[in-house]
Amino acid sequence: MASVKPAVLRIAGISGSLRKGSYNRGLIRSAIEICNESIKDVEVEHVDITPLPLLNTDLEVDGKFPAPVEEFRQKIASADAILFASPEYNYSIAGPLKNAIDWASRGQNCWADKPAAVISAGGFFGGGRSQYHLRQVGVFLDLHFINKPELCIQAFSPPQKFDSEGNLIDADTKERLKQVILSLQAFTLRLKGEGAASEL
């Protein structure tokens, strides 16, 4: 009997920073590379929030959203799981990320029942306070965050974690990021009722 090839798990990777050289964007790029190189049947797609307009319900016409918002909402709705890279601005979530979250929650909530993980890079706390605020927002959105492992990267402390273009270069941090993705994969399969089958 022919074996059934497992479906590829599709993860939408979202960086809360719009800057091209952002360390948090670099984390999403690294997640894509890690999956391509060493995690079977998992794909991370960077879903760019740069084109999204500021939330304004006047832009909703006849029940439809602006084209960039529609495209973003479709990508979130079709993803199996979400990976947030959340920078910390003033002890909280970055404005562009909150804007994206709000657009995808309008009308039919595209976040509902999605497994999720959050990672961050920043100063002394490594963006940890933004993670806690994002988890709080996720309660109302019915997002299901993994609890562990946590990844809050102290980007400015030695050893060097990122190069001048924001690419993750530290091997230990890459391994920690891989463990987050593996945990998200396992949690997602469990929620989809495929965890037991995958272990056979």
What secondary structure, in 3-state letters, does 151-196 show?
EEEECCCCCCCECCCCCECCHHHHHHHHHHHHHHHHHHHHHCCCHH
Q: What is the pTM of this model?
A: 0.93
Name the helix (H) or strand (E) containing 73.
helix 67-78
User: Which structure tokens are listed for 94?
Assistant: 């970055």
Residue 194: per-residue pLDDT: 74
Spatial neighbors of 182 by CB under 8 A, at least 6 apart, are 39
CA atoms within 13 A on the CB side of 57: 4
Residue 81: per-residue pLDDT: 98
Alpha carbon distance 55, 60 (integer Å): 10
Name the helix (H) or strand (E) containing 137.
helix 128-141
Residue 195: per-residue pLDDT: 58
200 residues of the chain, pLDDT tens digit each: 455 567 899 999 999 999 999 999 999 999 999 999 999 999 999 999 999 999 999 999 998 999 999 999 999 999 999 999 999 999 999 999 999 999 999 999 999 999 999 999 999 899 999 999 999 999 999 999 999 999 999 999 999 999 999 999 999 999 999 999 999 999 999 999 875 444 43
